[in-house]
Structure 1
Amino acid sequence: MTDSPAPGDTGTVIIIPARYASSRFPGKPLMAIAGPDGATKPLIQWSYEAASAVIGTQGVFVATDDGRIADAVDGFGGAWLMTPESCANGTERIAACLDRLPQADLLVNFQGDALLTPPAFVAALIDHMHANPHAQVGTIAVRCSAETFRHLAEDAAQGRVGGTTVVLDGAGNALYFSKRILPYLPEGRMPDADMPVLLHLGLYAYRRAALERYVAAGATMLETVEGLEQLRFLVAGVPVSVLVLEEQGYPIVEVNNPSDISLVEGILRQRDTG
């Protein structure tokens, strides 16, 4: 089993980190997700197809450490790169691909459980990084609708690990990311224009130097406690530029828990008919 061939042109590549041995949801990338027509595809295929819809990149790769996932990617005609089992998170997994993607100057991390991420968001993030050449890391957040906020609040009330929120400084860089809802809202208060809740999407764009610095910094207490890999950048003093966008008429829910599968399938049907 050998890696898929790397692109030859300088530019942007999209990489989807995917591991089988998740402690919260083992085998998640291979879980069957039903589309609006009832036909099922593995989660990793849904995400790969969404990433492949982005125009102007030099390739899409799944970065994995498991032959079962590589076989699934082969099965739908995708490309993959094998990475070490020792990678602690998706960012490290993408950094492990740097030597096989020597021509890539911008690497986009498209989360394998975020099949609902609009391709237009990926394109907007790439444009944001081109427009801000000094930004080393970029990511996206959306203003929570009432429906998305209720989903986050329900997860919190049931003790489930749901989405991640982010708060920003005046320059649009992340102050902090958390799996708790930030900022705190008084009971009964819904987010609005004066007090928005920003749902962070697990979509990143990195310069090569930022990935190298990330690996050199090593794991930090905050990323370990929160379970949020991007906090290592903040601890290491690497600003994370956040592009804030509006939701696309449907909640952008990730598959964090088995209970999210039916919710995502419902959103796929809603999106197809909307």
Structure 2
Amino acid sequence: MSVLIAIPARYASTRYPGKPLVTLNGPDGAKTLIQRSWEAARAVKGVDRVVVATDDDRIKTHAEGFGAEVVMTSPSCQNGTERCAEVAGKLPGFEMVVNLQGDAPLTPAWFVEDLIAGLRADSQADIATPVLRCDGRAVSGFLADRRAGRVGGTTAVFGAGGRALYFSKEVIPYTGKTYADDDPTPVFHHVGVYAYRPRALRAYPSWPIGPLEVLEGLEQLRFLEQGRNVLCVEVDAKGRQFWELNNPEDVPRIEAMMAEMGAR
């Protein structure tokens, strides 16, 4: 099964303009967010092609400068999934399209490899996405963000067979408990990566934006509001920390994680 990874990168982010070009300092020096995300994508085994998808010439010039292939997409794309759908239309023939969002440089290669395997094994799923069981430290970070009025990570709840029930920027399910840093919890962090079957991806831009997608600002809810099967694939962090860059305040947090892990 041929696999394409597209990395959506938008300069005009409402919450964090210019985010793809922000510099992250790690053990390997200073690199931009988009370069680190591209390197994370290139580390995934079994992928046939990796492209950066953007509508901004600044990102295009920078990405080509470090060796990335760039596909220019329309500025009218509402989110990364719509941008990936446009890429899939320009680069047809792949049996699976993976959206590795450009704000997740800490994504381990095995998260994506497990995701691809999960979608391959479930013929009824239209889309698959990874979830990571939170420890107490991660849940505390989510709750601290919410108390500070920041949009932090997204959580997921799912039922039998890993079928997604809901995704939220709130911490769900509610537990009412306090956990030690290393305690496992029943809260799952949604990892911002998606693997789509082309038929579902092609249909996505034509579907109306539903009320839940509007309220939460989460693109994957459009699939659920259309009654599509979304598979949650539980992945194992294997001792590594994971966090997306959602706000300027996340930069030192991610840099600290990179320093602790000695990872890019």
Normalised TM-score (structure 1)? 0.92
Q: Which letter does structure 1 place at the counterpart of 2:9?
A: A
Alignment partner, residue 134 of structure 1: 124
143-152 or 87-96: bigger deviation: 143-152
Q: Which letter does structure 1 place at the counterpart of 2:3?
A: T
Q: Which letter does structure 1 place at the counterpart of 2:7?
A: I
Shift of residue 246, structure 1, vs aligned partner: 2.5
Answer yes or no: is the 8 Å Cα contact 2:6–2:87 preserved in 1. no
SS of the residue corresponding to residue 243 of structure 1 reads: strand
Q: Which letter does structure 2 place at the counterpart of 1:249?
A: G
Answer yes or no: is the 8 Å Cα contact 2:133–2:187 preserved in 1. yes
Q: Which letter does structure 1 place at the counterpart of 2:211?
A: M
**Do residues 143 (structure 1) and 141 (structure 2) align?**
no
SS of the residue corresponding to residue 171 of structure 1 reads: helix
Q: Give the one of 210, 223, 228 matched to 1:233.
A: 223
Q: 1:101-143 CA deviation, whole Å, 9 max, x = no partner?
A: 1111100000100000101111111111111223210000000
Q: Which letter does structure 1 place at the counterpart of 2:4?
A: V
Q: Which letter does structure 2 place at the counterpart of 1:30?
A: L
Alignment partner, residue 58 of structure 2: 68
Within 1, Cα distance between the matches of 2:8 and 2:234? 23
SS of the residue corresponding to residue 263 of structure 1 reads: helix
**Do residues 35 (structure 1) and 26 (structure 2) align?**
yes
Alignment partner, residue 17 of structure 2: 26
69-78 or 246-255: bigger deviation: 246-255
RMSD, aligned α-carbons: 1.5
Q: Which letter does structure 1 place at the counterpart of 2:231?
A: S
Q: Which letter does structure 1 place at the counterpart of 2:73?
A: T
Within 2, Cα distance between the matches of 1:153 and 1:249? 22
Alignment partner, residue 152 of structure 1: 142
Answer yes or no: is the 8 Å Cα contact 2:114–2:235 preserved in 1. no
**Number of equivalent positions:** 262
Shift of residue 218, structure 1, vs aligned partner: 2.3
Normalised TM-score (structure 2)? 0.95
SS of the residue corresponding to residue 95 of structure 2 reads: strand
Within 2, Cα distance between the matches of 1:229 and 1:52? 24
Alignment partner, residue 204 of structure 1: 194
Q: 1:126-177 CA deviation, whole Å, 9 max, x = no partner?
A: 1111112232100000000122111111111111000000111122111000
Alignment partner, residue 177 of structure 1: 167
List alignment gaps of at least 5 residues for structure 1. Answer: 1-9
Q: Which letter does structure 1 place at the counterpart of 2:133?
A: R
Alignment partner, residue 214 of structure 1: 204
Within 2, Cα distance between the matches of 1:57 and 1:178? 30
Within 1, Cα distance between the matches of 2:209 and 2:23? 33
**Do residues 188 (structure 1) and 178 (structure 2) align?**
yes
Answer yes or no: is the 8 Å Cα contact 1:36–1:265 preserved in 2. no
Within 1, Cα distance between the matches of 2:140 and 2:59? 33
**Do residues 17 (structure 1) and 22 (structure 2) align?**
no
List alignment gaps of at least 5 residues for structure 2. Answer: none
Q: Which letter does structure 2 place at the counterpart of 1:72?
A: H
Within 2, Cα distance between the matches of 1:160 and 1:248? 28
Shift of residue 94, structure 1, vs aligned partner: 0.4
Shift of residue 212, structure 1, vs aligned partner: 1.9
Within 2, Cα distance between the matches of 1:72 and 1:148? 33
Alignment partner, residue 244 of structure 1: 234
**Do residues 45 (structure 1) and 35 (structure 2) align?**
yes
Within 2, Cα distance between the matches of 1:243 and 1:230? 14
Answer yes or no: is the 8 Å Cα contact 1:61–1:80 preserved in 2. yes
Alignment partner, residue 3 of structure 1: none
Alignment partner, residue 266 of structure 1: 256
Identity across aligned pairs (percent)? 45
Shift of residue 187, structure 1, vs aligned partner: 4.7
The 5-angstrom pairing of residues 106-121 of structure 1 reads 106-121=96-111
